[in-house]
Structure 1
Amino acid sequence: MKRKVSLVSMLLALALAVVGCGGGTSTGANNLSTGGSTSPVQTAEPSPAAQDTIVITHQLGETPVPVNPQKVVVFDFGILDTLDLLGVEVAGLPQGNVPPYLAQYTHSKYANVGTLQEPDFEALSALDPDLIIISGRTSTHYEALSELAPTIYLAVDTSNYMESFRKNMETIGAIFQKEEQVAAELKEIEDKIAEVRTKVAGGSEKALILLSNDKSISAYGPGSRFALIHDVLGFPAVDPTIEVSTHGQQVSFEYVKEKNPDYIFVIDRAAVVSGGGQPAKDTFDNDLVKQTNAYKNGKIIYLDPNYWYLSGGGLVSVSAMIDEVAAAIQ
């Protein structure tokens, strides 16, 4: 009987010794948790760190976003041209009406996720993105898109163009850890703006911005979607009372003749929208326009609608837009 007790005691002591040696972290070992249940001990090899997230505050809310997300979907061509410039890959975009300067994104390796106005939720669900970036044309779908993935709204606020644009670009820089590159691009754009403003300030010429939509025209003034010309580059508006509206204030060519602008900046919607109708140059070829100072002095400027109408708000497009206006005042 004593022999049996002694053998049991020896076995118990040996077991306790083994447990004591295993008290540290070791591969394959189990430790007793404070709650009384067991859980796997972490291995000696470092485990992958959880992906960092940052909270992005935007006009539609606050969204936790992963840093350097792998699958990015973009519903804004200005943001797309920014990501392209920064060397950031995207996984999907609306492939209809992609501006020619971004034609590479019509390739089949990118998922087609609907249109700017109507996302394809089935395609998005199959893609399972890590981040969705939208702007004004997709804003009504923000809540539904947020159910699929972190979604942020990065449209330019036209009432405060440059501050809004700068904030959007810095947000992109923070998400993709491209802060220095973004800062350098913004500095170059700001230098261009200062140069144009200096030239504009040296004269007294006034401008009118017109969107040509088939045979009709709409005027845009300060605070509008094309207000870069007035609010940022410093061109005085020939009519500062133009209604601020997404679609502009519909006007007639009699109005254009009456206001008699020194510059007319034209954005031709028909050139970039399927079935858009009559080209702007045909629409503006009339006797009323020919009576304006802009026509007489060769200062009717047909801006590239791929930048001004389809995209805008990106590092590439905003820079190109400034270049176009700068070229007009040489």
Structure 2
Amino acid sequence: MKKNLSILFLAFLLSLVAAACGTNNNATSGTETASAEEKTTGNTETMTIEHQLGKTDITKSPKNVIVFDFGILDSLDKLGVNVLGVPQANIPHYLSKYEDVKYENVGSLKEPDFEKIHSLEPELIIISGRQAEAYEELSKIAPTIFMGVDTTDYLPSYKENMTLLGEIFSKESEVAEELSQVEESIKALKTKANASGKNALIILANEGNISAYGPGSRFGIIHDEFGLTPVDNGIEVSTHGQNVSFEYILEKNPDYLFVIDRGAAVEGESSAQSLLDNDIIKQINASKDGNIVYLDPNYWYLSGGGLISVSEMVKEIETSLE
């Protein structure tokens, strides 16, 4: 009898231990599940971006974005991404909606308003070449990334920038579709340009002065990607171009003369046409054949490198070849 009681008592103790162990296992499992959900829903997803000026950690799909590059601005506009602040002076006409008071004015392209930017508490600041010197100061305010286009490698650089924008703002599929269309249009233009057998010269008119641009330059996409043969392969590659004279243009005698009017972009007053209306320029092939083309400086000088601007640049050159 005593033996049976001992066995029953031992079985009772074992059942208590088993129940306790089962309860502890369930509690541990429940805690792990709660932590996993909290990590998924409570933590912000981040990215580390390596760019020309450094390495920057940013929040994905950031709010309160400030943009200093108009090519990036036109891309975000195309993608439907809201922007908090922009430099409102000299905004390209096709982005004039950003002059509205509902967008914050954060200074000029070369002189950011640091105090104003700080007060806005942005999550991301995007800059390019004109703001490079302000990078360190802007980085103290908020994560800042450089997204200027490398004109020596225009198309790959442009595609890389756009792809990165897609990743930052979770617009990958939209960007891929836009890039596909741009690439197809460039391919068609290049075929057309090669078939024409024509050469070209690109110049910037600025307050009575003329600068020439060739392959690998600021506007070299016309040669490097669009396929028009440069009339001079020896043009100095620099941001401001190579100073040239009317006599130089006559000597090179281009079939096409592409003109970018800085005054029209910055000051709102065109001077290029009156500057080139002279007896020397009238002697070149481009003038005789009606192929002096005044490109829209809003796309070529103020922005460029955007989903909208690059597409419009392709259209302008394609139209000029018709």
Q: Tell me the TM-score normalised to structure 2 length.
A: 0.88
Whole-angstrom CA distance in 2 between matches of 1:51 and 1:107: 31
User: Are 1:164 and 2:192 an aligned pair?
Assistant: no
Structure 2 counterpart of 1:249: 242
User: Are 1:308 and 2:294 an aligned pair?
Assistant: no
In structure 2, the residue corresponding to 1:202 is in which secondary structure? helix
Aligned counterpart for 1:200 among listed residues 166, 182, 193: 193
Structure 2 counterpart of 1:327: 319
Amino acid at match of 2:227: G
Quote how far apart the aligned CAs of 1:46 are: 5.2
Structure 2 counterpart of 1:224: 217
User: Are 1:141 and 2:134 an aligned pair?
Assistant: yes
Quick one: percent identity of the two aligned structures? Answer: 54
Quote how far apart the aligned CAs of 1:204 are: 2.0
User: Are 1:318 and 2:313 an aligned pair?
Assistant: no
Whole-angstrom CA distance in 1 between matches of 2:268 and 2:254: 30
- Which deviations, in whole Å up to 9, do the C-alpha atoms of 1:168-222 show, x marking residues without a partner? 0001000000000000000000000010111111132110000011211100000
- Which deviations, in whole Å up to 9, do the C-alpha atoms of 1:20-56 show, x marking residues without a partner? 99x959xxxxx9xxxxxxxxxx89x958421101111
Superposition CA RMSD, Å? 2.0
Count of residues in correspondence between the two structures: 295
In structure 2, the residue corresponding to 1:272 is in which secondary structure? helix
Whole-angstrom CA distance in 2 between matches of 1:294 and 1:208: 10
Seen in structure 2, the aligned counterparts of structure 1 residues 275 and 199 have a Cα distance that, compared at 3 Å, is closer
User: Are 1:128 and 2:121 an aligned pair?
Assistant: yes
Kindly indicate whether the alpha-carbon contact (under 8 Å) linking 1:264 and 1:300 is maintained by their aligned counterparts in 2.
Answer: yes
Structure 2 counterpart of 1:102: 95
1:1-330 counterparts in 2 under 5 A?
Answer: 48-274=41-267, 279-330=271-322
- Which deviations, in whole Å up to 9, do the C-alpha atoms of 1:58-86 show, x marking residues without a partner? 11111111100011000000000000000
Kindly indicate whether the alpha-carbon contact (under 8 Å) linking 1:157 and 1:164 is maintained by their aligned counterparts in 2.
Answer: yes
Higher helix share: 2
In structure 1, the residue corresponding to 2:48 is in which secondary structure? strand
Whole-angstrom CA distance in 2 between matches of 1:203 and 1:280: 26
In structure 2, the residue corresponding to 1:55 is in which secondary structure? strand
Whole-angstrom CA distance in 2 between matches of 1:275 and 1:161: 28
Kindly indicate whether the alpha-carbon contact (under 8 Å) linking 1:214 and 1:283 is maintained by their aligned counterparts in 2.
Answer: no
Q: Tell me the TM-score normalised to structure 1 length.
A: 0.86
Stretch of structure 1 that moved more, 48-57 or 222-231: 48-57
Quote how far apart the aligned CAs of 1:274 are: 2.2
Stretch of structure 1 that moved more, 200-209 or 217-226: 200-209
Whole-angstrom CA distance in 1 between matches of 2:181 and 2:72: 18
In structure 1, the residue corresponding to 2:102 is in which secondary structure? coil
Whole-angstrom CA distance in 1 between matches of 2:306 and 2:114: 25
Amino acid at match of 2:279: D
In structure 1, the residue corresponding to 2:229 is in which secondary structure? coil
- Which deviations, in whole Å up to 9, do the C-alpha atoms of 1:213-267 show, x marking residues without a partner? 1211100000101011000001111011000010000100010001000000000
In structure 1, the residue corresponding to 2:181 is in which secondary structure? helix
